[in-house]
Structure 1
Amino acid sequence: MATGRFLVLLFTILAGVYYFDLHNHPAVQEALERPAFAFLAALRQQNSLAVPNVPVVAPVDAPNPQATVASPTGSTRAPFTRHIVAVGDLHGDAGNAQKVLQFSGVVDAFGNWTGNADFFVQTGDIIDRGDDTIKLYKWMERLRVQAATAGGLVMTHLGNHEVMNAIGDWRYVYPSEINTFGTVAARQKMISTGSIGRAWAQNYTATSRLPLHPHLGGPNTPFPPPHHPIHFRREDDYEDESDHTRYYDPEEPLSHSALSFVHGGLSPTYSNLAPFPTKINALSSSLLEKLQHRVQPPPHPPNHYPGLPQGTTSEEVELYDSNGPFWYRGWATDTEEQVCVDVEKVLARTGTRRMIMGHTPDFTGIVSRCNGKIIIIDTGISHAYGGVLSALSIHYTFTPVESDDGEPRWVEREVVSTLYADRQEIIVDEARELVGNFRFQ
């Protein structure tokens, strides 16, 4: 009994210490380092007891995620929720990156994963224009491990600047950033076969397809699915090229309930969209491997532009040209009339309902076009640009509803918000009712 009372008292004191933020006081820190408190020090190291001052952003009037609906058989149908946060180009600025990830709820004040998001997506261009290259890539890998431990996922992408650096095109590399590596040769090694280069090869893709509902499978499940040949019906069966219905299966109402992420954009005339994202990512991996494992050329400038390596295929050349996913800007620069026609083809072929990308900055805020089917999230976060700090938040809910006819009915809702340091703006709030039995694993 005495031991039990002691433990209750101990944890009561510790709860007060952390609640009132006394754990940062030097005397308290010293006490926590003593052997008797070793297990608590380990917990503190993981921030298991910390209460971060981070807002939890929720959609307005969202369906109650705790609600369950009884079916005619007496079983219950539970709701499903998914929260995604996406951030654009960071360009060597760890300080502003920390601010963005903290006010969007992804990390706490210590830069550790909070668990407030299921997915964190970064759309490339972490490197160049700033001095925090090493710090940012190490942070992304630490967050990746923390997220996985908590059941979340970090999804990172190669931007045109990552590929430029792999090629040896260092036009936007500051001398002060090279100094953080020590030498030019040390930097070359780290981004080729060193820790950053290995992270690129293992954990960074050119593009992603993220299903909003697990019925469609996990992240980067290819579309069209190989077991569903209906999506490959002959093109000449359709006289009207604008008829994209061949990519939609009426028996699979969730087939396009997914998002695509890419750095530049998925051009409507790019030849390797499908299967998505498998084809693009395979080409990206093969090109990066050739770049990283050739003898590293002296960087440009001051030397000549080294170009793509010998043995680069025509498909890899197309991947890196202005129409490819690293460089394409048409979704940002073309007219509203044109992009709202073109986007339908790309969404149909990629099995997605929105395209989210960085690359083309708007220094005033996130750009939404065609009712949120195109979202451009590069707002010049780095101090090199002086733009606004921003993130994109997607709250998805799949909620069972009462049914008089005995059919399993659901309300699918997606709320897309732009997050800034001082405000939140909802740019999409869409809901629809579906009927059917869906897989939740």
Structure 2
Amino acid sequence: MSSPRRTLLFTVLVPPLVALYFVYTLQLHVIVPELTDVKEIPGLLSRIFFLLFKPPLGSAGDDDLFQQARSGAARKPFTRHIVAVGDLHGDLPNARKVLQFSGVTDGFGNWTGNVDFFVQTGDIIDRGDDTIALFDWMDKLRGQAASTGGVMLSHLGNHEWMNAIGDWRYVYASEIKTFGTVAERQALLSNGRIGRSWAANYTTTSRLPLHPSLGAPNTPFPPPSKLQKPGTNVANSYYYDAAQPLSHSAISFVHGGLSPTYKDLTPFPSRINEISDSLLKKLQQRVQPPPHPPNAYPGLPSSATQQEKELYDSNGPLWYRGWATDPEAKVCVDVEEVLAKTGTRRMIMGHTPDFTGIVARCKGKIIIIDTGISHAYGGVLSALSIHYTLTPVGNDADQRWVEKEVVSAIYPNKQEVIVTDEREVVGEFLG
């Protein structure tokens, strides 16, 4: 390009584009809504500067500049922020404090839009008087999150299931009064708005992909076409195929734990959630038995299947505590097989409290987030934060990316990094 022409283009085109670029970077583009493609300005500037200042064709560096311009326009960094909170047990004031200092909600208890996913691992009910207020707040936040592109993942803990069964050992008399009567409490938890929300919005476990190329939350793993053949060694199976570098870029959430000997781990999480949906329906639709105590323990319905009974026993995902209580040498071996089967890189759970803080084991492959938030326990207020990024490096032809995950424990006055995982992957990952 001749020098006069280059000068003219520079004088006429670049200043307004630079001005628009600064509007974009300062996040002031809301004042010019008619510029619907303003996010493309950085890529457009890259191409303009490439045309203005590229060396003559055939000169050294021409291919490199072209690749840089192409790369900058085609691949974009991806980020995802997740916050998870454990057992709340009837304490609305402490719950509000936790969600506020972790950035999920503002001072008025409304969704901020500062996180992509908020996960609660169950046991909202019992040991406190704020059952109705807490579940109503969760439903309000669910709607607010959806309106801004955020997602809530909610789980039923063993205490929600106890109440659905009629096991009221940890229900305060003062809490029953907030419902009115025993019968009114039973109705609200079965076919009333709380029970309907449990059936519609709560699961027993979740699989949350860190990158959207793996599908939406709770997409079954493995997909039907990739089911592991019987007798295949896990370490050499599809799960760790180098051709699927993001296959395990996902996290499992559950209340108790995913036992290595639990029979219905896969497909994950769909198999567990199918069983729990079936059992919850049976519990909510039966004539509600008089609660225990003072009456006899009602137990599961007579129509409960063997799989439904195993879901609720001590080895099932609602009650299992082995990841918290077994020796380090054992759990760090056992966890690998469970992660392989569930298509995840770490598992996060509540249920077993440590009143001093969040517990991480096996380099963050096991994380236990119940810290006794409720005043009934007097533990510490806490939340778990996960920042995930997938950043392009090199040029498009290489398809190289740096994947980074920073997992932190957040407390009222401090934040502690639990683990930072970083690696380079190669592939085409569509966000």
Q: TM-score, normalised by structure 2?
A: 0.83
Matched, 1:333 2:298: no
**Structure 1 letter corresponding to 2:240:** Y
Structure 1: runs of 5 or more not aligned = 1-65
> What is the match of residue 203 of structure 2?
205
Where do 1:143-158 residues align within 5 Å? 143-158=141-156
The answer (yes or no) to whether the contact 2:228–2:237 under 8 Å persists in 1 is no
The residue number in structure 2 matching 1:408 is 399
Deviation, structure 1 residue 233: 2.4
1:88 match? 86
Alpha-carbon distance in structure 1 between the residues aligned to 2:364 and 2:72: 39
Equivalent AA in structure 2 for residue 249 of structure 1? D
User: Counterparts of 1:244 and 1:186 in 2: how far apart (Å)?
Assistant: 54
Partner of 1:138: 136
Task: Report what 1:60 is aligned to.
Answer: none
* Secondary structure, counterpart of 1:151 in structure 2: coil
Counterpart code for 2:256: G
Q: CA deviation at 1:243?
A: 3.2
**1:371-393 Cα shifts (integer Å, max 9, x gaps):** 00000000000000000000000
More helix by share: 2
Other-structure match for 1:421 = 412
Per the TM alignment, residue 339 of structure 1 is displaced from its structure 2 partner at its CA by 0.2
Residue pair 1:71, 1:408 contacting (<8 A) in 2 also? no
Q: Who is 1:233 aligned against?
A: 229
Q: Which residue of 2 aligns with 1:351?
A: 343
- How far residue 75 of structure 1 moved from its aligned partner, in angstroms, is 3.7
Per-residue CA deviations over 1:224-268 (Å, capped at 9, x if unaligned) read 012x33x42231x54xxx735443232111000000000000000
Note if contact 2:265-2:341 (Cα within 8 Å) is conserved in structure 1. Answer: yes
Letter in 1 for 2:82: I
Gaps of 5+ in 2: 1-41, 47-66
Task: Give 3-state SS (helix, strand or coil) of 1:307's partner.
Answer: coil
> Which deviates the most, 429-438 or 66-75?
66-75
**Cα distance, 1:145 vs. partner?**
0.2
Is the 1:72–1:406 Cα contact (8 Å) retained in structure 2?
A: no
- CA contact 2:312–2:318 (8 Å) conserved in 1: yes
User: For residues 234 and 309 of structure 1, what CA distance do their matches in structure 2 show?
Assistant: 33
* Equivalent residue number for residue 14 of structure 1: none
- Check the 8 A contact 2:389/2:405 in 1, yes or no: yes
Residue aligning to 1:165: 163
> Given the two structures, how large is their TM-score scaled by the length of structure 1?
0.81
Kept in 2: contact 1:258–1:353 (CA 8 A):
yes
Could you tell me which residue of structure 2 aligns to residue 243 of structure 1? 235
- 1:366 maps to which of 326, 334, 358: 358
**Which whole-Å CA distance do the structure 1 matches of 2:72 and 2:302 have between them?**
65
Tell me the secondary structure at the aligned position of residue 232 of structure 1.
coil
Q: How many residues align?
A: 368
Structure 1 residues 9-88: aligned runs within 5 Å: 70=68, 72=70, 75-88=73-86
C-alpha distance in 1 between matches for 2:248 and 2:425: 13
Residue matched to 1:23: none
Distance in 2, matches of 1:150 and 1:265, equals: 31
- Could you report, residue by residue, the CA deviation over 1:117-158 in whole angstroms, capped at 9, with x for unpaired residues? 000000000000000000000000000000000000011000
Specify the code of the residue in structure 2 equivalent to 1:362: D
**DSSP-derived class of the 2:235 partner:** coil
Task: Note the aligned Cα RMSD (angstroms).
Answer: 1.6
- Do the aligned partners of residues 335 and 72 (structure 1) sit closer, same or farther apart at CA in structure 2, a change above 3 Å counting? same
Residue in 1 that maps onto 2:53: none
Q: Are the counterparts in 2 of residues 70 and 77 from structure 1 also a CA contact under 8 Å? A: no
